[in-house]
Structure 1
């Protein structure tokens, strides 16, 4: 069905305010921009709408993960020949917060990643980018072994009592649920590897161990949370959108995983 008029920065800002987003909020946004419909100015207008609503005291966060900068031995989409693995590990240029694009994170995340004033965390696999007064706090501490845990930007968002916005996507994309995984008493762990760019332009391959990231039941967790937890659902443009407090979501998911998952 053709929409009557194009969506604009102003109309999207109105939709976001009606959903409950407000000036000064700290919000992690997951998005599928295509779901919004035709927007005058496309993804730039979407970014402008979010930043307009948040205002000078709000902070916008997006995932800027790089799943292509991981150990090729684990790749499935698609796999690569084993003879390629040493070359990839040794010759990849290495993650650099300013140079390395994200992958599979969507057009909005890439737009915010390169927006003037944006800061990005240094994790070579699961980085986040942020713009606003709390951007430095959100992105400053991101150790290799805690890519999605309490010392990651997800943990910083939790401490800031921030929000999660699912713009045209569902809980399968809700990265904050990984924080709940990491908070399990003894979460299953797995090895990781990634290339990191050195100041002189060379690259070093790093390895570490961290909790397994498993999204297979995230939609189940999200549906269960929505039955009892605070969440507002509405439309931003044509996109079904959910806004929720991250702390309540993570607390619920931490208990849900403990009670419903088997190791």
Structure 2
């Protein structure tokens, strides 16, 4: 890692012996005061359209479904925990001085010298596109560190989906706190439902895309007892764009 770098980290610490807080402190120390650690702080259950939400409501009748929807808490970037992102992501998100972007489904949290700027201006219609922290990280030459996870979890590949010609689009719907930057008038007490169109994200082939990523572009090593990969976000996006253009229909 380069001192002063902007580093997007995916980490699964179960069984590694690594503690989230110690890893956070080690990375921020290695990057120095001008470096920034970034993590996904996604909330996929805050939706009526995501697979995570659909799994929660599977088998519910119409009345139960309406009641479940009415109980869904609106997304608040200051307080809503991430879902399924792991202990390390939560350790970064809840650190004093951390910033978080405002997207109600695919927010990022960051800690370090450039945290506030990277997390600002995350547009509702850009889950993981150019107007997201991921887009900024790519344009500014950020790196990805993956600890104990494979390429199927490589968020950087999603940016390539925005760069393919005429990407497929779909509608999304989620509930946000009133006065959230993306809110529109809806029906939810304490929050507002908002619907928007964005790229139809698909990570089903990410493991295959990663398997074709040239070894010359990836540094492999270990963090504690866990395997780790380090690579450039621009390299990953360029590779994924080329692969998707040739292989996706």
Q: TM-score when scaled to structure 2?
A: 0.90
Check the 8 A contact 1:90/1:204 in 2, yes or no: no
Q: Give, in angstroms, the shift of residue 92 of structure 1.
A: 2.2
Cα offsets for 1:69-94 (capped at 9, x unmatched) = 01168534344325234334444221
Size of the aligned set, in residue pairs, is: 238
CA distance change for structure 1 residues 137 and 66 in 2, over 3 Å: closer, same or farther?
A: same
Check the 8 A contact 2:98/2:110 in 1, yes or no: yes
The answer on 1:61 being equivalent to 2:38 is yes
Segments of structure 2 that go 5 or more residues without pairing to the other structure are: 181-188
1:204 pairs, out of 189, 192, 207, with: 192
2:205 pairs, out of 217, 220, 227, with: 217
Q: Give, in angstroms, the shift of residue 204 of structure 1.
A: 0.1
Check the 8 A contact 1:90/1:205 in 2, yes or no: no
2:29 pairs, out of 52, 64, 84, with: 52
Segments of structure 1 that go 5 or more residues without pairing to the other structure are: 1-20
The answer on 1:77 being equivalent to 2:64 is no
Instruction: Supply the distance in 2 between the matched residues of 1:94 and 1:194 (Cα, whole angstroms).
Output: 8
The answer on 1:138 being equivalent to 2:118 is yes
Q: Give, in angstroms, the shift of residue 52 of structure 1.
A: 1.0
Q: Which residue of 2 aligns with 1:38?
A: 17
Q: What are the residue-to-residue correspondences of 1:9-48 with 2, within 5 Å?
A: 21-35=1-15, 37-39=16-18, 42-48=19-25
1:124 pairs, out of 104, 123, 129, with: 104
Q: What are the residue-to-residue correspondences of 1:142-153 with 2, within 5 Å?
A: 142-153=122-133
Check the 8 A contact 1:65/1:128 in 2, yes or no: yes
* RMSD over aligned Cα atoms: 1.8
1:230 pairs, out of 208, 212, 217, with: 217
Comparing both structures, which one devotes a greater share of its residues to helix?
1
Q: Which residue of 1 aligns with 2:184?
A: none
Q: Which residue of 2 aligns with 1:247?
A: 234
CA distance change for structure 1 residues 231 and 237 in 2, over 3 Å: closer, same or farther?
A: same
Instruction: Supply the distance in 2 between the matched residues of 1:88 and 1:135 (Cα, whole angstroms).
Output: 35
Check the 8 A contact 2:8/2:144 in 1, yes or no: yes
Cα offsets for 1:19-45 (capped at 9, x unmatched) = xx132111100011125x224xx2211
Instruction: Supply the distance in 2 between the matched residues of 1:82 and 1:99 (Cα, whole angstroms).
Output: 30
